[in-house]
Amino acid sequence: MTVLENIIASKQIEVERLLQVSIPFHAAKQPIPFKDTIANSSEVQIISEIKRASPSKGDIRTEINPVAQAKQYEACGAAAISVLTDTTFFKGSMEDLQAVAEAVRIPVLCKDFIIHPIQIDHAKAAGASIVLLIVAALSKQQLHDLYHYAINKGLEVICEVHQVTELEVLLELNPEIIGINNRNLKTFEVDLQTTAKLAALIPHRDTLIISESGFRTRSDAILARDAGAEVLLIGETLMRATNVSKAFNELKVAKERSTKHAR
């Protein structure tokens, strides 16, 4: 089995458990707008991530205080905060998301492998404004149903792709936000050229493109910007940084509108 297949098998067990219990969260505030608030920004925006561990890197910072880290991200100017909520493979939790959502005034993304509406219910109840749907993890019907379920709940959705075939399926849905993952979820290898390859195939100029994974240097950020990305999702580099503000600013680049959709 691939890493993704193992994760999905784990999620199926998790969903069965969630269906047997009541939702233990109640969001204190309404979802915070994401896409519309960054449309007129002069810089490529950054979604900063709380990631304790991963299957490819092992433990990153398992002892992290998610609220303290999130407040640093917010102070740096993050557009949103992504919180890994998978426990088995990433050592995160929905409690991490709830704590972060209560502590910051910017949108929070529930970063998980969502395969069932009950996971969306838990994410919203914990305070998420955005959820992630991974095309590689879903059938075409699941993608359609979960996307509209989340939208009808008042959440924004980042639909994530890594391959051309996934993008072709996704474009039929005409989503407002597309995340291009530079990491192959079957092998967990990273190729930053993935963003350029797929962004060139996205026809709608008003689609918000997010480039995810693999950002280490300013030149990496510029590469994604020039491919058409308006937002970068950055996790490990910021989690490992001894100076979060310095690392964040090194990855911040101007949004050159003349090259935004040079596809």
Per-residue pLDDT tens over the stretch 146-179: 999 999 999 999 999 999 999 999 999 999 999 9
CA distance 85 to 241: 21
pLDDT at 229: 96
pLDDT at 150: 99
Q: Any idea which fold 3-18+31-257 has?
A: TIM Barrel (3.20.20)
CA distance 11 to 19: 12
Whether the per-residue pLDDT at 183 is higher than 50: the answer is yes
- β-strand partners of 113: none
| Model confidence band, residue 204 (pLDDT cutoffs 50, 70, 90) | confident
Phi and psi torsions of 214, nearest 5°:
90, 10
Q: pTM for the complete prediction?
A: 0.93
Per-residue pLDDT tens over the stretch 115-135: 999 999 999 999 999 999 999
- β-strand partners of 91: none
CA distance 179 to 233: 9
Whether the per-residue pLDDT at 194 is higher than 90: the answer is yes
Per-residue pLDDT tens over the stretch 55-90: 888 899 999 999 999 999 999 999 999 999 999 999
pLDDT at 256: 76
Residue 9 in 3-state DSSP? Answer: helix
